[in-house]
Amino acid sequence: MSRKNLILIIIFFFFIFSGIFYFKWKSFQKASRMTSCAKEGERVNRNPLIGSIDQKCCQGLMEVRESKSYSVCKRAQKILLYYYNPEKDKDETGNIKCSRDGLVALERQIPVSQTPIRDTIELLLKGKENLTESDLNQGITTEFPLEGFELKSLNLKEDGTLILEFKDPLNKTIGGACRVSILWFQIEATAKQFPQVKKVQFLPEVLFQP
């Protein structure tokens, strides 16, 4: 083999291996960008108009949307939201009892905060947006959200009594003994998952009246 041919072969293999190395390196760079995760409290861009939206994730953390442009990675805690399944609340003759027997606990997550009880109840009041397609297929339902109905204040007494004051300007919590009982039970059970809550009281007292 001539020296010229040997040099050509060496150059050929050099370009082959250089190309392989280049594509491997680019793939590694892309994978690194895709899997790099944000730390707790770090912002994650979610606006494609101002930058990449796939470079950060919240692995092991909860992504909380705080504006149209970005989310923040926060620590999460598991909580239960109580909804209702009428199929689990029937007597021997098939009639719906409108009782606590129909309550179903669904596990969800909220960001860790100093107000977990309030955050959990406010999430419950968002109602159907918390239900997955699987939940709905199982017959789990709720009348929440109620238009205009919102939590105004929360006060936990030393004896474990939780006083919840709501706004209900459109009287959406009034009407039908069965209906209002289930609405009441949902909030009560959701609040009582917290061990410090022994009893739940609603204000104003005209709420949840048949």
Residue 57 sits in the same domain as residue 87: no
Question: d(Cα 47, Cα 73) in Å, to the nearest integer?
Answer: 16
Whether residue 115 is predicted with pLDDT greater than 70 in this model: the reply is yes
SS3 172: coil
Per-residue confidence band for 203, with pLDDT thresholds at 50, 70 and 90: very high
Decide: 198 and 160 in contact? Cβ < 8 Å.
yes
Q: Which range, of 9-23, 71-85, 88-102, 128-142, averages the lowest pLDDT?
A: 9-23
Q: What is the mean pLDDT of residues 92-111?
A: 96
Q: What is the mean pLDDT of residues 62-90?
A: 92
| pLDDT at residue number 34 | 46
The strand pair at 161-167 and 199-203 is best described as: parallel
Q: Report the pLDDT value the prediction gives residue 198, as an integer from 0 to 100.
A: 98
Confidence at residue 32, expressed as pLDDT on a 0 to 100 scale: 45
Which stretch, 2-11, 55-64, 111-120, has highest mean pLDDT?
A: 111-120
Same domain, 144 and 66: no
Q: Indicate whether 31 pLDDT > 70.
A: no
Domain range for 149 is 76-203
Please check whether residue 63 lies inside any domain of the structure.
yes
Distance CA 210, CA 180 (A): 6
- Confidence band of 41 (pLDDT split at 50, 70, 90): confident
* 187 touches 151 (CB < 8 A): no
Same domain, 168 and 115: yes
pLDDT digits (tens, 9 = 90+) for 134-161: 999 999 999 999 999 999 999 999 999 9
Confidence at 40, pLDDT banded by 50, 70, 90: confident
- Domain assignment present for 26: no
User: Is residue 7 included in any domain, yes or no?
Assistant: no
Query: DSSP strand E in 14-148: where?
Result: 43-45, 62-65, 70-74, 76-84, 103-111
Residue-level pLDDT at 150: 98
**Residues 85 and 110 reside in one and the same domain:** yes
Residues 183 and 196 placed together within one structural domain of the fold: yes
